[in-house]
């Protein structure tokens, strides 16, 4: 459900008593305190306490604006920072945050606010899910990727480094936030590369949105790109709201990704696993150390969204090899990625067999059978169980430079 006021959109994530609003608009960071105080009003005249986990990579002014707004609304704020890199999304960071929050004697009903990109939201969210068996969480995403994807839907967690390499998001919990506030003004200072990485998740949603109430998201995104790339507030609000509405509809139908083995939820629509479109390839690619979007060492490693873009090309190519998509689809996906300067090929990718082995280690594998999401058109994707190896290899080879 999508409600719109001038320049502020609110999308409801329809999860009954765990349902919540995602508010999207310019200047919401300055109104964070007001929004949190509505949900957690001071009790007995005593200021409410709150634990803020912020991303050490965002401009100081965002942390100052959030802290000031919370203090004006009467909160006593304790804070800790998180480095915004995948290797730091680990059990060590989680343990440190847990010690920090416990030392403030944070109580069960008091909220945690996660201010930052996807790494911060995931690890702070997991901390909120586990501290005292769960405290309320408010997500304040500061990257496009976190706004359209990571902050919505309740997935939290950390990576695990094992003998076979980095296992992405292997340890975690579902913990829905009470509120998500996306201030599009913070996108003005987001580096171009990170902004483009977020657009990869938007293209992903565009390739599956027809079953979730938005048949032309992919083509609208392409037509809106000049304004999106200028980061005009009105168009970024619309972009984020449409993407969040698609994600909310998917999550509302299959909150914990429990749809049957064929990936179809009770509604007859694809379950939450459809959101993994491009991700099984992406996780295998991004966990190869030192890959770079340009081939230059100084640009390594790949950002998650860059790997997702490569994963979309690989999935579209596999889908054609499986006879599920028109042969033109991979090229259309490539053109979309190139229009925002995302990589469509990568140098130094290991042999297809080695990438496939990594894909089989993915936590989404069930009974040793791979489950892949395959775009069938520019709006509809299907889940394929146990695809033939040759089709998956064709996908991997399509992104090799």
List of residues contacting ligand GLY (CB under 6 A): 149, 153, 155, 272, 275
State the DSSP code for 350: P
Cβ contacts of 102-110, under 8 Å, gap ≥ 24: 102/131, 104/49, 104/51, 104/78, 106/49, 106/51, 106/78, 106/131, 106/132, 106/135, 107/49, 107/132, 108/132, 108/135, 109/40, 109/135, 109/136, 110/40, 110/48, 110/49, 110/50, 110/51, 110/135, 110/136
Q: By C-beta, is 200 or 320 nearer to ligand GLY?
A: 200
Taking the complex as a whole, the smallest distance from the CB of residue 213 to ligand GLY amounts, in Å, to 17
Q: Shortest distance, CB of residue 151 to ligand GLY, whole angstroms?
A: 10
Question: Across the strands, what pairs with 115?
Answer: 54, 140
Q: Which is nearer to ligand GLY, 121 or 330 (CB)?
A: 121
Closest contact distance (angstroms) between CB of 19 and ligand GLY is 16
DSSP secondary structure, 75-120, as one string: EEEEEEEE--SGGGSSHHHHHHHHHHHHHTT--TTS-EEEEESHHH
The answer to whether the beta carbons of residues 374 and 260 sit under 8 Å apart is: no
We find the least distance from the C-beta atom of residue 387 to ligand GLY, in angstroms, to be: 20
Give how far the C-alpha of residue 143 lies from the chain's centroid of Cα atoms, to the nearest Å: 10
Residue nearest to ligand GLY (CB): 275
Q: How far is the CB of 327 from ligand GLY (least distance, A)?
A: 28
Of the pair 242, 272, the CB lying nearest ligand GLY is at 272
For ligand GLY, the closer CB: 141 or 153: 153
Question: Of the two residues 136 and 270, which places its CB atom closer to ligand GLY in the complex?
Answer: 270
Nearer to ligand GLY, 55 or 149 (CB): 149
């Amino acid at each position: 459900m999508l409600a719109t006021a001038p320049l502020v959109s609110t999308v409801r994530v329809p999860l009954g008593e765990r349902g919540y609003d995602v508010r999207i608009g310019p200047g919401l960071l300055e109104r964070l305190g007001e929004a949190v105080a509505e949900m957690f009003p001071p009790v007995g005249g005593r200021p409410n306490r709150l634990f803020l986990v912020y991303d050490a990579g965002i401009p100081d002014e965002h942390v100052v604006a959030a802290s000031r707004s919370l203090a004006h609304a009467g909160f006593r704020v304790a804070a800790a920072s998180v480095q915004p890199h995948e290797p730091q999304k680990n059990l060590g960071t989680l343990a440190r945050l847990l010690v920090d929050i416990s030392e403030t004697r944070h109580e069960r009903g008091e909220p945690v606010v996660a201010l930052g990109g996807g790494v911060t939201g995931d690890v702070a969210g997991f901390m909120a899910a586990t501290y005292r068996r769960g405290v309320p969480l408010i997500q304040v995403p500061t990257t496009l990727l976190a706004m359209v994807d990571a902050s919505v839907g309740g997935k939290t967690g950390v990576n695990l480094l094992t003998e076979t390499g980095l296992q992405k998001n292997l340890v975690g919990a579902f913990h829905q936030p009470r509120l998500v506030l996306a201030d599009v003004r913070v996108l003005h200072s987001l580096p171009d590369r990170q902004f483009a990485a977020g657009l990869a998740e938007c293209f992903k949603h565009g390739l599956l949105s027809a079953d979730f109430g938005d048949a032309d998201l992919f083509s609208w995104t392409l037509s809106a790109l000049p304004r999106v790339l200028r980061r005009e507030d009105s168009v970024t609000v619309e972009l984020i709201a449409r993407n969040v509405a698609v994600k909310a509809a998917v999550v509302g139908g299959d909150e914990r990704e429990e749809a049957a083995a064929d990936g179809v939820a009770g509604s007859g629509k694809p379950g939450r696993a459809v959101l993994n479109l491009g991700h099984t390839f992406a996780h295998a690619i991004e966990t190869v150390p030192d890959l770079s979007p340009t081939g230059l060492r100084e640009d390594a490693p790949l950002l998650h969204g860059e790997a997702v873009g490569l994963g979309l090309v690989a999935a579209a190519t596999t889908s054609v090899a499986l006879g599920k998509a028109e042969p033109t689809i991979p090229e259309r996906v490539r053109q979309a990625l190139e229009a925002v300067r995302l990589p469509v090929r990568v140098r130094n990718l290991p042999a297809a067999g080695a990438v496939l082995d990594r894909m089989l280690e993915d936590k989404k594998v069930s009974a040793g059978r791979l489950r892949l999401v395959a775009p069938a058109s520019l709006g509809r994707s299907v889940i394929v169980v146990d695809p033939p190896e040759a089709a998956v290899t064709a996908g991997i080879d399509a992104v090799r430079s």
